[in-house]
Amino acid sequence: MKFAYSTSIFKMRSLKEAVDCVAKAGFEAMELMADRPHVFPQDFKASEISTLHECLERRKLKVVGLGAGRVSALGDGHHPSWIEEDWKERELRIRYTLDCLRLAAALGVPSISIFPGGKIPQSMNQREAWRLFVADLHRVLPLARKLAVRVLVEPTPEMLVENSEQMLALLKEFDGDEALGVNFGTAHLAFAGEDPCEAWDRLKPYAGQIHLGDLVEGSEHRRTQLGEGVLDIPRFLRSVLASGYEGYVTVEMESADRDAEELVLGSAVYLRKEGFLPGESGQAA
């Protein structure tokens, strides 16, 4: 089983610090946050690509995805979304996503991950927001096909696509287009009321990446350190192993009141203890 770590936990720290920490913990890959201060496409110059490659090579790390969902450089993180009332706001999100596809291709990254539309505006009903998101994706997918970079949608609570049933309906709209896939988020789907193992059985043929996170007990939608929440992480990972999935499992964490480095190292310790990550505490399953 192959594990990566998302740099989104290092929102207040440099990309180099994130790379160093992920490598130190023993992960073999990472997902880059396509936002400041890491690799926001409008800031990231062509000359920086070779520098990043050299840094990754020294650390024996590879990049397996760009996180293009939450982006504070454009607004508040969630906005502008794909389904804003103002077409100019929607255009910002679409252009940003197209830029992320170009950057991913330049970096040799196989996929980008996006939000599932966004929160439905009060002026729209579900069907109107759905048709708008589908139309927006039709503007993005031609470039994705041309560059051979997949667009992975992550079902997210309180957004247009919240669960596996809605995700399957979205995929059906595109008739099996290989450029569109799923970023499978364990904590998101669990909060939406699904058993991650059962949801995995439904979505695994379309999964390009897994976002692994644990969920805080209670009604609040907040992730916590692996093994400290309510999800049965080992059970889910055994299901992934049994399915023959060959992509990456990317740990994605939140760091509101905890040190980012502490969380990364703690995730590695937990995965080794459970026998999934190679290292001193155990061998890969």
Q: Across residues 72-89, what is the average pLDDT?
A: 95
69 Cα distance to chain centroid: 8
Per DSSP, the three-state class of 237 is helix
Domains of the chain: 2-273 (3.20.20.150)
Q: Is the pLDDT confidence value at 213 over 80? A: yes
Residue 3, strand partner residues:
249
Count how many Cα atoms sit within 13 Å of the Cα of residue 58 in the half-sphere of its side chain.
Answer: 9
285 pLDDT exceeds 90? Answer: no
Predicted TM-score (pTM) of the model is 0.95
Cross-strand pairs, 215: 223
Read off the amino acid at residue 170.
L
Average pLDDT estimate for 188-213: 97
pLDDT single digits (tens) 129-150: 999 999 999 999 999 999 999 9
**DSSP-assigned beta bridge partners for residue 112:** 66, 151
